[in-house]
Structure 1
Amino acid sequence: MVDTQDPVVTMKQEVGKAAARRVQSDSVVGLGTGSTTAFAIQYIGERLKTGELKNIVGVPTSFQAEVLARKYGIPLTTLDVIEKLDIAIDGADEVDPQKNLIKGGGAAHTREKIVDSLADLFIVVVDQSKLVTKLGSTFALPVEVLPMAITPVMHQLEKLGGKPELRMGVKKDGPVVTDQGNLVIDVKFDSIDDPASLEKIINNIPGVLENGLFVGLADIILVGSIQDGKPVIEEK
């Protein structure tokens, strides 16, 4: 059972609900990954169940999102049969004042970027701690890499001024493996001054599948915070 008395959990629920309320009937919805987005998926399912929403199909960005969508009764589709999405809801690990993001804490950023980039409206749900003045301030940049290319990619990332580390599993021996069967390198940069340029440079390294810089994709940022013990949601 979720402890609904926990103000942080309550705040995440409210941010997720606020995003889910933006979903309209007859739409294709990108279903993101993470704890706050999970509440959005739950609430979309509840709206479908009551008949408030009709004719919704979801495109999951991860195995986690797929499992949650099935649990809450959201029909799923694939990018093979749709051209675009009406709306996508997803979290982020960092958000700068220009609405650029670092994503990939859940190792799903490759699929997230594909899905989120196809959406007419991309809503990001975060709590206040994810807001930064400059990307890379608190969070390392995730880079998804083909297993055979780990060592040469790490050398290239070092040449770019990064400190790369292979992401290791928690409660699991060995590295984290993505839904695509690849590995994740977390790269700490002292400063990411030009996210758009760095995104392209890293993606041009042979062996790199995708990195967690999301530049110019987010339309709305819904930010949750706790003020006087109560959840507050602001739109940016």
Structure 2
Amino acid sequence: MQCDAKREAAKGALELVKKFISNYKIVGLGTGSTTQAFIKESVDLLMNKKLISSSSSTSLFLSSLGLEAIEYNQKDSYIYIDGADEVTRQGEMIKGRGAALLGEKILAYSGSINIFVVSEEKLVNKLGEKRPVPIEVVPKAYPYISNILKKKNIKYEIRQCQAKDGPIISDWGGFIIDVYTGPMDEPKYYDDMLRSIPGVVETGIFLNLADYIVIGRESCGYDVIELKRKSKDI
């Protein structure tokens, strides 16, 4: 029997969320097809919670199901659920295929419990095996960033829209550049190096941000990896 791995992951995430949800009034939601699968599985539960969204795409999807995202008031803690484009068993992730990496990282950084939901093909030994690293950049800085990446012999491309001419513009007004690192032995090095370039707003490398990773299997069922995040100095 073959199952939809995304839906299996979503069902697993819902069971995990149920263990914690009574302690939270607010649920934060990421962006992408696996997050949408979780939302579909969890409509009844989410109806009774305040929701904050990482992107306009997720807000529109919530609206289509009769749910509404609110502005976060900075007072209440929340549980956060999101997907990932690549993930290791150590909790390192690449995100940003949906061009929402900045909003996702903002919500993940402040989440009290972060649950990331993936299908099994997203699991890798090293980040960069299958996906480039997206970075969000200030549009006017693009020529300078492009020149710096060329000098570093780093392959990249600016992400283009499919439904219109020109580059993708994020919810935050930035361009998205896909950086091809190949498999990374030290993801933190690339994260630090890319963010050190003036005009780079954020990268899609997510480190020390996952408490749980739920991995859906095509053979049906799911696995849960529990991680211990290092405390953040704020």
Alignment TM-score, normalising by the size of structure 2: 0.86
1:111 to 103, 112, 137: 103
Which runs of 5 or more structure 1 residues have no equivalent in the other structure?
A: none
RMSD: 2.0
Q: Which SS does the other structure have where 1:38 is aligned? A: helix
- Cα distance in structure 2, aligned partners of 1:130 and 1:162: 24
Distance 1:160 1:91, change over 3 A: farther
Distance 1:39 1:85, change over 3 A: farther
Q: Any conservation in 2 of the 1:30–1:85 contact (CA below 8 Å)?
A: no
What's the offset of the Cα at 1:66?
0.7
What's the offset of the Cα at 1:160?
4.2
- Cα distance in structure 2, aligned partners of 1:39 and 1:138: 22
Distance 1:72 1:6, change over 3 A: farther
- Cα distance in structure 2, aligned partners of 1:48 and 1:186: 33
1:232 to 211, 221, 233: 221
Q: Any conservation in 2 of the 1:16–1:125 contact (CA below 8 Å)?
A: yes
What's the offset of the Cα at 1:94?
0.6
Q: Any conservation in 2 of the 1:146–1:208 contact (CA below 8 Å)?
A: yes
Q: Which SS does the other structure have where 2:221 is aligned? A: strand
Superposed CA offset, 1:127-184 (max 9, x none): 1111111111110000111111112112223344421111111232221111112111
Question: Which amino acid is 1:166 matched to?
Answer: I
**1:18 equivalenced with 2:16 (yes/no):** no
- Cα distance in structure 2, aligned partners of 1:152 and 1:191: 26
The residue that corresponds to 1:120 in the other structure is: 112
Distance 1:67 1:88, change over 3 A: same
- Cα distance in structure 1, aligned partners of 2:11 and 2:104: 20
- Cα distance in structure 2, aligned partners of 1:47 and 1:213: 30
- Cα distance in structure 1, aligned partners of 2:183 and 2:151: 14
The residue that corresponds to 2:55 in the other structure is: 62
Of all paired residues, the percent bearing the same amino acid is: 35
- Cα distance in structure 2, aligned partners of 1:83 and 1:194: 35
Number of residues of Structure 1 aligned to a counterpart in Structure 2: 221
